[in-house]
Structure 1
Amino acid sequence: MHSHIANQLGEAQAEAQAELHEALAALANARETYQQGAGTQFAQAKARQAELTGKLQAAEAAQAQAHADFQREFEAAGYERNEAVRAALSVKTAAQDMAEATRAALARCAQELESHAVNASGEGRRYAAAYGRAYAAHTRVQAYEVLQQAGATIARAMALVAHVPMQGSRAEDSFGRPAFSPQAADELARARMSFIWEELVTMARQLPEWSARLQVDALGELDLGPLGMGDLMTPGQIHKLRHTAQR
């Protein structure tokens, strides 16, 4: 590889490495902000909602049982008040109050959860975007490392075929007569080299990296907790809910 080409690749790789360094720092900041802020608050509210939902189910079951017990005692007493009826009525009233209070608490929790979901979505989108930028920067560094290793060999093949006319092409004749402009000449050379690109794509499709995006240890995992990627609100939804809450 000519030294100036090597220098160009080295400079490009160094620039990509600097971008990766900045992207990793931004990712660490976004992850900490999310996990120690709105992400944790949303997770706690989500757990609280699940807890209250379970308690409400138990309270409603107790309410139904207390009502049945009261009906039985009241019927047994000939629909008159006695000690057993009063005791059953007290239990029934208490069970009803418990169920209503739990239901109200669950409603308040749902409102709080929506508020936390708005905040978590905002921070979560920034976290996910930072992760995407870091992943892209890491991939660019890897790509430049591969170009440093094999780029010269592939570039030589491309340079060689740039002078070979394409058989059966409507873009040029078989004698390879010169193009009528520098732009046309560049397009012609690219067309002549296109089969190398197609071969590389075919090879790439056979690699495991093509089938699935690999996990990069340096980036860690994109962990949004109980708020999944599909649950993240759009900026428009976030703005609408915040505007509604301020009314």
Structure 2
Amino acid sequence: MSRKVEVFIPCFIDQLYPETAFNTIKLLERAGCEVIYNEAQTCCGQPAYNAGFWDEAKEVGAKFLKDFSDANYIVSPSASCVGMVKSGYSDLFTNSIEHNTCRTLQRNIIEISDFLVNVVKKEYFGAELVGTAVYHDSCSALRECKIKDEPRKLLSHVGGLEIVEMRDQETCCGFGGSFAVKFEGISSAMAEQKIKNAQAVHADYIISTDASCLLQLQAYIDKHHIPMKTMHIVDVLTSGWANI
């Protein structure tokens, strides 16, 4: 019997990385899940929340709470958005009319690598990607979702891929949403340091659970014509399937 899951595709991925969204569904289906996608879903409210516009964030968040049921896991390819629901929603909805609904969804929402390893308990998906890669621990994955080993376990089963650790592994990439706009110089310097650390271990790829981090790092890579590529973990885990 397949497990029903509802998938939350963040607005960021919907607009900029739609292929990652499609690959998320393919990956969950290969894991034996029946995937439900509510086309009415939009944003979790994180941009407004981080910028201090809590009333606007609450309005968007209230819609999020209505767009998902309380009966299934809600799986997302974004630790950042999962972290927003798990933590930020406590600020927005505690002791409100949505309090109980919020608590249920906070228990049900989960980042995809966490879901695959700890709920489905499946780590091998027949993926192939030749090269050397570093895994970038996003701030949200580490600190809000408590994810560290799960992505590495999944990546260890990708054929042809060598995962190496880099210096300052857990340091922020410098994106931080509006931080990259307000403090462009600091943000760029942080991205530069992360890329240089990846270059030092001869990485071909930088892999992460957060597309926003990858956008930040890929922009620096493109600007400086560096022979390196960023990839979302979902895209890595669905690589090479046509060859199977």
Which category describes the TM-score, using the shorter chain as reference length?
Answer: under 0.3
Greater per-residue helix proportion = 1
Q: Which has the higher relative contact order, 1 or 2, with Cα contacts under 8 A spaced 6 or more apart? A: 1
More strand by share: 2
Larger of the two Rg values belongs to structure? 1
